[in-house]
Amino acid sequence: MNLAELERRLLAAARLHQPSDHVPYGFEQRVRAHCSARPTLDRWAWWAGVLWRASAPCLAIVLFLSAWAWVAGAPNGANDSLDNDLEGAVYAVVDSTTESW
Amino acid sequence: MEPDDAELIAATRRGDTASFEALVRKYQPRLFATARRYAKRDSEVEDIVQEALIKAFHKLDSYRGEAPFEHWLMRLTVRTCYDFLRGHQRNREVTFTELSAAEQDWLDRFGRDPGDAAANAEAARQLVERILDELTPAARLVITLLEIEERSVKEIAALTGWSVALVKVRAFRARAEMRKCLKKIARDKYV
C-alpha cells in the first residue's frame, strides 16, 4: 500500500470537512455569569505566587553577595584564623572543664 | 452603530461584563469550530470554549491591542485546546480490526485502486479522525494546524507560542508519527 498517497488522501478528506460553528443557546450568558462571579481566593495558589515572585530577588541578592565576597577577597591568614577558631570552638568545652578542676 | 472591539474591551476593563458578552457573542462561533477539531463530545467542546473565554476575561489587561483581538483570542483558544489534549492523552494504537465497516471498505478500495477511494469521503474523514486520536497532543495540534487548516509555520508559532524552529521539528515528528500509525493499520490489514 502506498502510505504517502494514503496520507495525502486522508488529509485531503479531512480538509474538506469544516467543523460546525454552532453555539449552544445562551452560552454567552453562561460565560458572563462565570465572569461576574466573585473569584474565590485560593490560599495555596496565592502563597505559591508570593514565593515564586520572591525567588528572583532572593537569587539576585545571593548573586550580589557572592560577587561582593569574591571581589573583596579573603583577608591574609584567613585560613589560619579559621583553623584556630574551629579548634578553639571544639576544645572550648574541654578547656573550661579542665580549668574548673 | 455597534461599538467596535476596542470600545468593548475598554468597557470590559472598566468592569462592564455586558460588553464582554458582546465580544463573546461576536467570536464564539469561530472558537466553537476550532474546539470541535480537538474534542468530540459537546460537553468537552463547551468546556474548552468557556475556559478560553474566562481566561480571556481575566487576562484582558495583558492584551495590548498590537494585534487584532480575534488573533489574541484564537491564541488563547488553541493553547486551551492543547491543554485539553494533554489532559486527555491516550496511549494506545489503533488496529485495522477496530475500524468500522465503512473505514475498512474505504481502505480495501484504496488498496485495490487509490483513484477509486475518492468516493465516500466521510469514511476517510472518520479514519483520519481515528488516526489523529492516536497521535501525541503536540503531533495532533501540528497536523491539524499545518495540514488540515493549512496554516503557515509562522502562524502556528504565533498561535502556539512555540518558536518557528520548534514548530518545524514537531511537524517533522508528527508526520513520522502519523506514517507509523498508517503503517500499523496497513500491516494489520494484510496479516
* Interface contact flag, A31 B117, Cβ < 8 Å: no
- Specify the CATH architecture of the domain B96-190: Orthogonal Bundle (1.10)
Mean pLDDT in residue range B55-79: 91
Residue B51 confidence (pLDDT): 94
Same fold, B5-87 and B96-190: no
* Interface contact flag, A6 B121, Cβ < 8 Å: no
Residue with the bigger pLDDT between B115 and A44: it is: A44
Class for the domain spanning B5-87: mainly alpha
CB B88 within 8 A of CB B141: no
User: Which SS3 state, helix, strand or coil, does residue A73 take?
Assistant: coil
C-alpha span between B35 and B83 (Å, rounded): 12
Cell of residue B8, nine digits: 468593548
The nearest CA of chain B is from the CA of A32 a distance in Å of 6
pLDDT band at B191 (very low <50, low <70, confident <90, very high): low
Q: What is the ipTM of this complex?
A: 0.81
Domain ranges of chain B: 5-87, 96-190
Query: How long is chain B?
Result: 191
**Residues 6 or more apart whose Cβ sits within 8 Å of residue B132:** A14, B140, B143, B144
**Residues 6 or more apart whose Cβ sits within 8 Å of residue A20:** B32, B33, B36
Task: Answer yes or no: is pLDDT of B30 > 90.
Answer: yes
Tell me the per-residue pLDDT of B10-24, one tens digit each, with 9 for 90 and over: 998 888 888 999 999
Residue B31 confidence (pLDDT): 96
* Interface contact flag, B110 A6, Cβ < 8 Å: yes
Task: Answer yes or no: is pLDDT of B162 > 80.
Answer: yes
Q: Which of B57, B178, B183 sits opposite A35 (nearest CB)?
A: B57
